[in-house]
Amino acid sequence: MTQTIDSGNTRTDSHGKVHETVHNADHEIEKATLVAQTSEGGQELRPRSELSAKELMREVGAVLRISESEAAALGAVDNVVPGTTGDAEDQTMIINMGPQHPSTHGVLRLMLELQGETVLRCKPIIGYLHTGMEKTGEELTFMQGGTNVTRMDYVSPLNNELVFSMATEKLLGIDQDIPERAVWMRMLLSEMNRMSSHLLFMATNGMDLGAVSMMLYGWREREEVLRFFQKVTGLRMNHNFIRPGGLAADLPAGWRDDVLRLLEMIPPRLEEYDILMTGQPIWRDRLQGVGVITAQEALALGATGPILRSTGTPWDLRRDMPYLRYEDVEFDVIVGTYGDCFDRFAIRLNEIRESMRIVRQILDKMPSGDYRIQNKKVTPPPRARIDESMEALIHHFKIFTEGFKVPEGEVYVAIESPRGEIGCYIASDGSAKPYRMHVRGPSFVNLQCLPHMMRNCLVADAVAIISSVDPVLGEVDR
Amino acid sequence: MSNTPTTPGADAPGADQTDTAETAVETAPTEIYGHPLSDSRGQTVVHVPRAAYLGLIKQLADDGYMQVSDLCAVDYLTHPGRGLPDGFAAERFEVVVNLLDIEHRRRLRVRVQIPVDDATCPTLFDVHPGTEAMEREAFDMFGIVFSDHPDLTRILMPEDWEGHPLRKDYAVGVIPVQFSNDYRTATRPSVVPGVPA
């Protein structure tokens, strides 16, 4: 430890190592060596006796500003068992849930402080799937970037590609010149992706709560949508189909029939879901009043998407800050009332219906024309031209090896993904690779709601709450 | 198509989602609470000195910018000459905060210059608790210390990781390819030699 500590507190982690945090009230930090800054302390949930009031306040899920005495009262352990001391360490137990747990949707690890079956504190610990995708994004050209971002939120890959492409196009200044057909195709794919993502939520949410047949039904319907994606893009997932300038290819012959078949098949299946779950008393008992969050708290925590809408806040970027041609289609923004797990389930179920409503309008309005911008700077020449023109071959080669240069600048573009606001911040230095590519993953931010939603719930409800946040760890960890 | 970006006007179609009320009116304000506003591809950006950063965020929160959509950092080590308003010296790091005003449906981006020899920044946790994880990520990836943050630990990298991966002087690393010329010498450097840390 080579740092000067002015007002830091000392903590000991489970390995007996001493860590020091620097509060640097007067910014007095030594010339920062890398080593000094890496021992900032453990990420795990620690016993109450080692916590500052502020940290405790966050772990018990106090969102809005409260006084320290209120925080202490929140953090106090009630219901002391007779015959024991009132020490928190005697009353409670800190346990791990995950990262290997079927209900944690991947590699989410939660540390829970339990008193009996009741969760007193919770801390999500993430990073187990971190593969440095933002660093990788700086090494790939704008042309190649789609393959990288599509793997972040692997349940709704087309939305990732869309936001990355829109940010790149904005930097290039061609965002108003994208052909109409490309824009409507993007909308079609984005909405179909919302359907497949929410269908997967139906499956996992059912599975987490013991409705195992629901799991099979959800996966089954999602697979039908993925089959459509496979026909259009060639892949079930990680499509890299939406690219800067448009799309990789036009819709295949017979796409309209495939979409119509889906639109016919899915509504009766959703009716089945309603019978199986929505009206069923056990299902309602498991979800209603569980994991409640208010609008003010959700906004303060940065929550977006179904979590924010479940609190009754009608905020949907498709309607409120329209992109693509969402102002030309009619749809309803589904909001909840109580901000509980049931509202979030019902919102997603009904958003599938709204997405189908949008898809129906897209079928009617899909214009003909080009599926990508005819701008030689960003669009490779057609395949047929390569056989007959040397220049086309060179152009094709250059654009795929060197990429295209993007003017200097920085933009932040956000769209509504199935999980909330997915944003892409790109800073360009004028070269063919993004200087900095940052993706604001909705799951990453939404996970911060967990400690708040879980306070004083049961362990079984914790499973329901994780499920209702619907995190995708590929996007959380990036 | 030229290289120069077109600035979307007030009559631009809705694809420009960030067209705020401020850019749409003809007499767009040039500053907010004394801090210069600039335009980046039709998006409003405000530059603020680090000392006034927290105060500005509080004032903006009272004005309706009640949610922090995104907070991230950028390391401008190899690209120092970016355009900044008068009176702002380009520093190595920059903290970028994207604010969202739900009531008026507008966005605002705040950019703060952070020097490398004093890489600290006030935390927004007291105003917007939702920045907690984002600031931890910025700390983890860039080593910017957010003072008064309640739990400033690494969030994505392992606890005992050395270095801050998204810094520009942190190499991506290489996987030695068998039978290539540099197979015996290639290692996984964590720091690019020759670039000052």
**pLDDT tens-place values along chain A, 478 residues long:** 334 334 334 444 444 444 444 444 333 343 344 444 444 557 777 777 777 777 777 776 665 555 556 656 655 665 555 555 556 566 788 888 878 777 777 888 888 888 888 888 888 888 888 988 999 999 899 989 999 999 998 999 999 999 999 999 999 989 888 999 999 999 999 999 999 999 999 999 998 888 889 999 999 999 999 999 999 999 998 999 999 988 999 999 999 999 999 999 999 999 999 888 888 899 999 999 898 888 888 998 999 999 999 999 999 999 999 998 999 999 999 999 998 999 999 999 999 999 999 999 999 999 999 998 888 888 888 888 888 889 889 988 888 888 889 999 999 999 999 999 999 999 999 899 999 999 999 999 999 888 888 888 898 899 999 999 989 998 998 8
Residues 6+ apart with CB under 8 A from A231: A252, A255, A258
Q: How far is residue A255 CA from its own chain's centroid?
A: 29
A408 touches chain B (CB under 8 A): yes
CA atoms within 13 A on the CB side of A471: 31
From the list A63, A127, A323, the residue facing B14 with the nearest CB is A323
pLDDT number for residue B26 = 52
Written out in words, the top-level CATH class of the domain with range A133-440 is: mainly alpha
Residue spans per domain, chain A = 133-440
**DSSP strands (E only) in A131-200:** none
Q: Which amino acid makes up residue B85?
A: P
Contact B145 A411 (CB under 8 A): no
Residue of B nearest to A450 (CA): B130
> Mean of the pLDDT values across residues B58-72?
91
Q: What is d(CA A246, CA A183) in angstroms, rounded to the nearest whole number? A: 8
Residues 6+ apart with CB under 8 A from A183: A324, A325, B15
Phi, psi of A458, rounded to the nearest 5 degrees: -90, 160
Count of all residues that appear for chain B in the document: 197
B window 114-173, beta carbon within 8 A of A = 117-120, 126, 128-134, 137, 139, 141, 143, 145, 147-148, 150-166, 172
B46 - beta bridge partners?
B37, B110
pLDDT tens, residue by residue, B131-174: 989 999 999 999 999 988 888 888 888 888 888 889 888 877 66
| ipTM of the shown complex | 0.80
CA dihedral A397, A402, A407, A413 (to 10 degrees): 90
**Helix ranges restricted to H, B71-178:** 132-142
Q: Is the dihedral of CA A237, A242, A248, A254 positive or negative?
A: positive
pLDDT number for residue A72 = 60
Contact B15 A54 (CB under 8 A): no
Instruction: Give the mean pLDDT of chain B.
Output: 78
A463-474 as b/e, with b when 16 or more CB fall inside 10 Å?
A: bbbbbbbbbbbb
Pair of tokens at residue A180: 């109409």
Domains of chain B: 21-147 (3.30.460.80), 167-197 (no CATH)
pLDDT number for residue A270 = 92
CA dihedral A267, A273, A279, A284 (to 10 degrees): -130
A372 - beta bridge partners?
A246
Nearest-Å Rg of the Cα atoms of chain A is: 25
From the list B17, B153, B172, the residue facing A322 with the nearest CB is B17
Count of all residues that appear for chain A in the document: 478
A410 touches chain B (CB under 8 A): yes
pLDDT number for residue B32 = 83
> Mean of the pLDDT values across residues B21-43?
73
Lowest mean pLDDT among A462-471, B18-27, B114-123: B18-27
From the list A24, A57, A300, the residue facing B130 with the nearest CB is A300
Q: What is d(CA A371, CA A374) in angstroms, rounded to the nearest whole number? A: 9
Strands B31-32 and B35-40 turn out to be antiparallel
B147 - beta bridge partners?
B122
pLDDT number for residue A251 = 92
